[in-house]
Structure 1
Amino acid sequence: WDVGHQAYAHKIITGRRDAFIHNREFGGISGFPKMSESEYDAFGVGHASTSVSAALGYAVAAERLGKNYKSIAVIGDGSLTGGLAFEGLNNAGGLKSDMLVILNDNQIAIDQCIGGLHNTLIKITTNQNYNRLKDDVWKVLGATGLRRRVQKFVKDTKRVIIKNSDVCSFFDSLGFRYFGPIDGNDIGQMVLILTRLKDIKGPKLLHVVTTKGKGYKPAEDNPTIWHAPGMYNATTGETIKQDNSCSRYQDVFGSTLTRLARENDKIVGITPAMLSGSGLNIMKAEMPERVFDVGIAEGHAVTFSAGLAAGGLLPFCSIYSSFMQRAYDNVIHDVAAQNLKVIFCLDRAGVVGEDGLTHHGLYDLAAFRPVPNLAIASPRNEIELCNLLYSATLPEYPAIIIRYPRGRGIGMNWKDAPFSKIQLGKAELLKDASKPDIAVLSIGPIANKCSEAIEMAEKEGINVIHYDMKFLKPIDIEALHNATAKTKILITVEDGTTMGGLHGAVAEYIADNCLDCCVKAFGIGDVFPTQGSREQLFELYSYNVIDIYKAIKTYAKK
């Protein structure tokens, strides 16, 4: 299964029907296929375009080990925009391995490509007797000029009958036998064709055309909104209203970038297939020619942005943090190594919630900190996000990663606030003390939880100094010097991996300067976090308000 959203029905009929009520919940089943969850989940997934490569691996393993199973990849037309899918198709066609790729296409109207003669052709070409006869004919003709002429005539005739012959030719050129398109919502026809395809050897591609949200009218009428609708009334289709008193970070980003773009015609927006999720749809609505949705192609998005920067534009490249992992080399090779100014806006940073393991944005701080010519920052709230986006456009700022979480801010009035420059690499002292018992160093919105914890500790007579570091790189050496000069006990708090992020930077500073200090890390350790709400995960991994308070209280006494 590619991405895995299509696997819900598969989960229900493979022993998880009763558990499905807790799908994507804390302690429940995953929203994606997961090998550790069920023997029927052949391969774990969450990111796009992996299915063909994984299925090819299964097919080759079956051939090598003499196992008798069928390897099938189910991939949507959206995932087929990803380059990894084409790498898999190219390799599979060359190896001639026995596998089937089912292309689930819900972008093309059925009446444009489904007809009686066409359906008859599909039934003929998948018929066992037809395929045996065809193989026998090719054997009799041998490697002769007559065989080549007959084969060309058959292919040309097939392409005349199949209306979308360009699609057929394309997959044929990759070494796949192409079948389709057929009506994927016609269960009887699907069963017939799939049964027949089981007996046809080699790489095959079945093109099925489906209606997204088939059977539920609200979803059929508005497939974009219903891709991830949240809570809703199943009878009426109405969305169940949730607390929206605080703005979502993606909306703060989209609105602020639009505001900046009105004043700077060099600003452009880039996103890999996350136009609405990133908030760039706001800018797209006002200035469509300056926003580029490049499809599921994170590496291309980054290198395209590098080209835009080299050409004199100011690109804001918005990518989910977990998806940015796919473009790591592009950031180093195409942006940083050439010292090109691209502003990377990493949404869904930190624990992401119910999407779970594959979507947590935990590694950006640690992964990009060693890369030269690249700054890294994380705002504490909505206004800081606005000001960081503004400041990043200033000449003194290099290429930068600005990371912010999924969800809502703290309710600040950011829409009417004037822009204010944030000094590059400067931390903010949120709480000072002349003789602190302990220092807390945080980065990003988690600083707000730290402030609550510090307030609780102060009521018990504990003196705390608290820095919102704001920048992981360049890190504020003056702030680190001040903190370590005042106290020998420090706590770092970050919504991400503690291995190489803020904790790593602070520990390195202490080691490099041979300081007699102790630093305790709070964040995600050497583990893949499960799914659950952000608050549930903060509690599970011990960096919610209470845990930070307890740590301050415990370590301040040592």
Structure 2
Amino acid sequence: MADIPKTPILDRVTVPADMKSLSDPELYALAKEVRAETISAVSETGGHLGAGLGVVELTVALHAVFDTPRDRIIWDVGHQCYPHKILTGRRDRIRTLRCEGGLSGFTKRSESAFDPFGAGHSSTSISAALGFSVARDLGGAPEHGIGDAVAVIGDGAMSAGMAFEAMNNAGHLDRRLFVILNDNEMSIAPPVGAMSSYLSRLYAGEPFQELKAAAKGAVSLLPEPFQEGARRAKEMVKSMTVGGTLFEELGFSYVGPIDGHDMESLLSILRTVHDRATGPMLIHVITKKGKGYAPAEAARDRGHATAKFDVASGKQHKAPSNAPSYTSVFGKTLVDLAGKDDKVCAVTAAMPDGTGLNLMAERYPSRCFDVGIAEQHGVTFSAALAAGGMKPFCAMYSTFLQRGYDQVVHDVAVQRLPVRFAIDRAGLVGADGATHAGAFDIGYMSNLPGMVVMAAADEAELMHMVTTAHSINDGPCAFRYPRGEGVGVELPEQGEVLEIGKGRMIREGSRVAILSFGTRLSEVEKAAEALTARGISPTIADARFAKPLDRELILKLAADHEALITIEEGAIGGFGSHVAQLLAEEGVFDTGLKFRSMVLPDTFIDHASPARMYEEAKLSAKDIEAKVLDVLGIAQIGEKRA
């Protein structure tokens, strides 16, 4: 248990309304206490530390100036929200962050009235803020009414096209709303692209405290002491851009940049724009991710995501690894292939470390591309790389690839371009919860004509699938694998090219066959051991491919057994559905085969440990054992059958 910091002022704040009676010096002190409380809490739970530390002063200032929850603050991405949760009635549960039954690591509508809009993915806040603003003006009347809408969007999130679509629409509609650009010079990885360079130019060579203002009319909104410096800065910025700033051209008044850790400036500016703004306003705030905690400031990712840690030293308490992670196995295998084939290249969307492509970037930087938080662009960019004769691996988390699905269909599948999709974080992911679960990719990839879809049962199989994907040159393919460590199998020197659409037998048995797709295979084998002790010896096969299916293997399993059970780490409509379709077309059900499909339940599963989430999903070894007994009509201990 970490030492609980002394927080005399924070102890007086249960909800933001309690802040209204605090003096400005007390608000400054409150920010320091919130920072200490955030560090202490995350040291016990783990989680996204750096982003929250970067917005402590901004969070205090926003709640001090605006009237929440009537005024809607929308955090983008939601992992910035830990200080916000501390100030909005959830301090007593802050040490349950990301734990089973505890607070979500993101904003969540069902958790609090102070979370008006959930955000686990990025770049949605401006659209949501505009929606709230229009609903307000049209007379929408939810429980608390609707006041102002404030989108707090990280600079990395501004690289996504959706943010600019929303700004374009907001400038056209000309409604009063506030966009706070939290410019911390990095989101998860260091930022990339012209937007990052543009923001840098806006404050190059100028101290933040001069509070540059670069929009028509925005200077007049500033407090008197800042107006002259802002006028000078406005001219400087206009000299760097044709026709004013990008934000001004989109219809926003622009104020900034402002030092996001200077409470005096924050409070002054926010109070002024709150009282005087009439249309859309963008406030450019400069913050430092990990601010105020030296170990986070010094970390490569500024403390983006941490395990539990010691507050004094910053040392994280991570369990020793027994096997390499799937992500690292993918990264190393890809580097090996790139060393042998100069046509191999890689694309990711702001997740080079998370997808293992940091290894590729270090070794072959000219062939590794981080496109920022822009999955749609990343997919189409990969498609054109393939059309241009390269062999692109498009590495994205399953949950993020969803944002590029139209491009997967229109730009890759329809044109049969050999893009190789490396789908990380497949299945349930633990503490990040429902927004990050890779539940749908089997279904949304397998229904595309010409798409080859693979799932690795272990880390050695992943090596084979990366190698197999490299060999496919006549159309697109995808291979999926989970977060975390492999199962500890011995790794080959290099991957082998698998025969497309062919599974493998794991063990021969009788009566019931279990056909596994993905890493539930290890749980299937545990279940088989328990069943063998009962005198039941199931056949086990690893499908390897959801598309094309191994028709010969599946039909043989169906013909030789009373029952066939498929299992996968995906939602309804995936691998099991394709197997059922095949069996129906072949008339196998007419023979009396008992068929069952074990999939993720038709619900969103809240955060917990991966093991507990799979227990809730009923995809653990004991659930597989129970399914076999049920389909064979064998009563379990304590169970009565008619």
TM-score (normalised: structure 1): 0.91
Does 2:124 correspond to 1:50? yes
Q: CA deviation at 1:320?
A: 0.2
What is the aligned-residue identity percentage?
A: 39
Q: Structure 2 CA distance, aligned partners of 1:120 and 1:94?
A: 21
One of 517, 521, 526 as aligned partner of 2:597: 521
* Structure 1 unmatched ranges of 5 or more: 135-153
After superposition, the C-alpha distances for 1:501-540 in whole angstroms (9 at most, x for unaligned) are 1221122122222223222222212101111111011111
One of 319, 322, 329 as aligned partner of 1:252: 329
- SS across alignment from 1:229: coil
Matching residue of 2:102:
28
* Structure 2 unmatched ranges of 5 or more: 1-74, 186-199, 635-642
Q: CA deviation at 1:440?
A: 0.8
Alignment of 1:103-118 (within 5 A): 103-107=181-185, 112-114=205-207, 117-118=210-211
Matching residue of 2:175:
97
Contact conserved, 1:391 with 1:397, CA < 8 A, in 2?
A: no
Matching residue of 2:499:
423
Q: Structure 1 CA distance, aligned partners of 2:391 and 2:131?
A: 41
Contact conserved, 1:349 with 1:362, CA < 8 A, in 2?
A: yes
Matching residue of 1:160:
235
Alignment of 1:234-273 (within 5 A): 234-273=311-350
Q: CA deviation at 1:127?
A: 4.6
Matching residue of 2:429:
352
Matching residue of 1:330:
407
One of 40, 53, 78 as aligned partner of 2:156: 78
Q: Structure 2 CA distance, aligned partners of 1:367 and 1:456?
A: 34
Q: CA deviation at 1:466?
A: 1.3
One of 191, 203, 221 as aligned partner of 1:126: 221
Alignment of 1:503-542 (within 5 A): 503-514=576-587, 515=589, 516-542=592-618
Give the AA of the match of 1:378: A
Q: Structure 1 CA distance, aligned partners of 2:398 and 2:208?
A: 44
Q: Structure 1 CA distance, aligned partners of 2:168 and 2:358?
A: 34
Alignment of 1:138-537 (within 5 A): 159-160=234-235, 166=241, 169-199=245-275, 200-224=277-301, 226-395=303-472, 398-414=475-491, 417-433=493-509, 436-497=510-571, 499-514=572-587, 515=589, 516-537=592-613
Q: CA deviation at 1:238?
A: 1.4
Q: CA deviation at 1:397?
A: 6.4
Q: Structure 1 CA distance, aligned partners of 2:612 and 2:544?
A: 25
- SS across alignment from 2:536: coil
TM-score (normalised: structure 2): 0.79
Q: Structure 1 CA distance, aligned partners of 2:467 and 2:236?
A: 57
Q: Structure 2 CA distance, aligned partners of 1:426 and 1:115?
A: 61
Name which of structure 1's ranges 259-268 and 544-553 shifts more when overlaid on structure 2: 544-553
Contact conserved, 1:113 with 1:181, CA < 8 A, in 2?
A: no
Change in Cα spacing, 1:314 to 1:161, as seen in structure 2 (3 Å) is closer
Q: Structure 2 CA distance, aligned partners of 1:385 and 1:292?
A: 22
Q: CA deviation at 1:270?
A: 0.5
Q: Structure 2 CA distance, aligned partners of 1:201 and 1:345?
A: 47
After superposition, the C-alpha distances for 1:430-479 in whole angstroms (9 at most, x for unaligned) are 1212xx22111110111111011011101211131111111000001111
Displacement over 3 Å in runs of 4+: 108-113, 115-124, 127-130, 154-158, 161-168, 395-398
Q: Structure 1 CA distance, aligned partners of 2:529 and 2:407?
A: 43
- SS across alignment from 1:17: helix
Q: Structure 2 CA distance, aligned partners of 1:492 and 1:39?
A: 42
Give the AA of the match of 1:446: R
Name which of structure 1's ranges 505-514 and 423-432 shifts more when overlaid on structure 2: 505-514
Structural RMSD (CA)? 2.4
Q: Structure 1 CA distance, aligned partners of 2:110 and 2:181?
A: 26
Give the AA of the match of 1:193: I
Give the AA of the match of 1:504: S
Name which of structure 1's ranges 456-465 and 54-63 shifts more when overlaid on structure 2: 456-465
- SS across alignment from 2:385: helix
Q: CA deviation at 1:41?
A: 0.2
Q: CA deviation at 1:296?
A: 0.3
Name which of structure 1's ranges 243-252 and 313-322 shifts more when overlaid on structure 2: 243-252
